[in-house]
A = this chain, B = another copy of it.
């Protein structure tokens, strides 16, 4: 088996005989057996499915989808980011973002404000209404995370964090950690967005 006449994609490695830790003795710090790893893959699938399930249910009542959640979340967490920042974070096209963002703006969850140093930029801020919705969507997720970290036992916070960080593409890690460290994107503005 394992012989499709298909070219290797991207950074794919050829399946170098058998060397996945199963029957090879001369291996220091043996990898987990494939079956175990597959279980982690499945667990991650189910975990993520349920993680997004709570907010999805709430969003439906507002006529929004998961895409709106993502936008609202990042705008709320990182008030004043530019459209371009959002595109980079979400890794989608501006046309995809456009529809979702427009709806959030039209319905009063997000406001735009021209940048003061560069007036081409549209800095995005949540309104009070937007902040409230973002918090409401996040609430069940935070409860879930909090309980899961507790259930995972002592040291879970550090271990899980390192695990998740390492799951991110290496090239992306700097970007991700800069996004997460409070002031992610060059917040050129001191703008607060406390208006509405």
Contact = CB atoms under 8 A, between A and B. Distances in A.
A162 B155 CA distance: 12
B50 A44 contact: no
Interface in A101-159: 128-129, 131-133, 135-136, 138-142, 144-153, 155-159
Interface string A7-43: 1011111010000100000000101101011111111
Interface residues of A, number: 84
Interface string A151-172: 1110111111111111111001
A57 B161 CA distance: 26
A12 B138 contact: no
B151 A162 contact: yes
Contact of A138 (B38, B139, B166): B38
B166 A152 contact: yes
